[in-house]
Structure 1
């Protein structure tokens, strides 16, 4: 199973890349032959604000960047969204990336790792509404990182034991739902 870890922030000095690197490293070192992981950084993709002439649900992609993004997302079999909480919502960069496409998201399991003033809970709540509308599979695989502002002082995110165990559980849920779809 190929899982994309999508970094949902493009800000300078962002915490999302630290959290995403932690998720990636944990899963690579987990030595699970059933999964492959890839970090997909929205900052590197630099998707312009969606302005296509066709609704993405049609599958008609008239912008070269949109088609490139569609080709990339189509390869994944599951997703982990790293979602900061901005003003009790999720980032506009992540919303834009989701809105770019239609069928490429459909029937694929998705998990969420959030952080922020309410531990990412409001961000995740909103993102779930959108992923549901995109017909993504939500196996209730969530990690809400507590005390991110106190813990974000070094170059790397250091998870606690609960978060490490929760991440393995999160991946198991993605795998279970993926197997049920195949």
Structure 2
């Protein structure tokens, strides 16, 4: 008779040590002037007085993070982007990219959230009811991975007239699943991070 208990026990132990996804939510955000924001619900009021000055040399050309705010630049001037929020109990595995992705940008860094409740936000005319994603902890410096996936070919060009149509969100290829999508993965840093 075969004894398989040790292998099963090892598998259970290894599984319990792997980082687990705690929660997830999907949303959309309007990209305006080629960018959108990630913002803690407290906004500028929640930035600690002792925050170090921002160092522009740490900014990427498409992603910038400051306390309670981050700015993400898009490849396109104006469209509606699909957003996925994920909260993990440790560093998540490397993301699997959509087969439709023609270009992928990945940024990993720190994001301070004073209220622990974050959302995406348009630059101008923000939505009245943005989805708020609860990270579950206040006043925490989170690790954040931002994965921006372009879903159209490099030679795709915006039609200058489509934005002028009052129903441009419905009539153009620039819908939540059309041009780009973004994945926002948050996890609390470990003691050595």
Query: If the TM-score is normalised by the length of the shorter chain, which range does it land in?
Result: under 0.3
Bigger relative CO (Cα 8 Å, ≥ 6 apart): 2
TM-score by length of 1: 0.27
Would you tell me which structure has more helix in proportion to its own residues? 1
